[in-house]
Amino acid sequence: MDPLIRFKDAHSKGIIPDDVFELTVKRFPIAIAGINRIEKASGIRYPVAYVEPSLVLTSPGQNSYEFGILFARTIPVLFDDKFQVVIQISAPLIAYGLRGTIHAILAHEFLHFLDMMRKISKMELLSDEISGNLFENVYSDETRLFEPRVVFKDRTLLNHITKKFPAGFRDFKLEDKVMKFWADKNLPKSNISLDANTVKLSAESLSKISLDPVFVSKIAQLEEKSSKIHKKRLY
């Protein structure tokens, strides 16, 4: 599908102004370059991705005044017994993010994708487990299973990830830009409560998912190498 289809539709309806539309479309090749870079560095195809025409905000609960910005999300979709993982990229990230930031966030979501597929291959992903690490108000790497240096053979990309995600993603300059040029201009916003943002995948649904054996084997190899690095850190 056209990754910009929802964004173009929002523009045609007058929801997205011309200047923001033109800027985002002009800068979208940065995201495409990032996806191509991740695929080359990992040897694994990137999931389907699309641009969400809104600023995605999240809070710990409905009554909380605190909020975080979700610049991208990894979303599992099960429709008519067909399983698909989709990476949702927020338009404000494309419009106002630096190249390194965009690539780092795309790479981070890719690691979430690999972790999800690992759990599915082992039938570990049940019911409403998917909330903590897939829909987070900060991008914490503390519980990440797959080590970036194991997955990505690209030193510059690894540097971007290391700088942006030392213990949780925060880019204050980007957040200020997004608030000034998007939120304060009353452009579209989506509000998501982390408490309610869960995906239901039953054991029966998981049993119907068929994965490429070569892909499963690749994930197992990455998991083993990552596990060895984690053990070295502990001991």
Question: How far is residue 195's CA from residue 220's CA, in Å, rounded to a whole number?
Answer: 31
The residue with greater pLDDT, 134 or 205, is 205
In this predicted structure, what is the pLDDT of residue 137? Answer: 35
Question: How far is residue 200's CA from residue 125's CA, in Å, rounded to a whole number?
Answer: 10
Q: Answer whether 154's CB lies under 8 Å from 107's CB.
A: no
In this predicted structure, what is the pLDDT of residue 138? Answer: 41
In this predicted structure, what is the pLDDT of residue 199? Answer: 56
Give the percent of the chain with pLDDT over 70. Answer: 77
H-helix segments, the chain: 5-12, 18-42, 91-96, 99-121, 148-151, 155-164, 172-181, 203-207, 213-234
Structure confidence by residue, pLDDT tens digits, 13-67: 999 999 999 999 999 999 999 999 999 999 999 999 999 999 998 765 555 455 6
Across-strand partners of 82? 79
And the tokens for 190? 């989506």
The model's confidence at residue 200, banded by pLDDT at 50, 70 and 90, is: low
Structure confidence by residue, pLDDT tens digits, 90-127: 999 999 999 999 999 999 999 989 988 888 887 765 44
Across-strand partners of 51? 89
Mean of all residue pLDDT scores within the chain: 82
In this predicted structure, what is the pLDDT of residue 130? Answer: 40
At a CB cut-off of 8 Å and minimum separation 6, what does 83 contact? 76, 77, 120, 205, 208, 209
Structure confidence by residue, pLDDT tens digits, 56-74: 987 655 554 556 888 998 8
In this predicted structure, what is the pLDDT of residue 202? Answer: 66
The predicted model scores a pTM of 0.85
Question: How far is residue 60's CA from residue 217's CA, in Å, rounded to a whole number?
Answer: 37
Q: Residue 198: which of 136, 148, 145 has the closest Cα?
A: 136
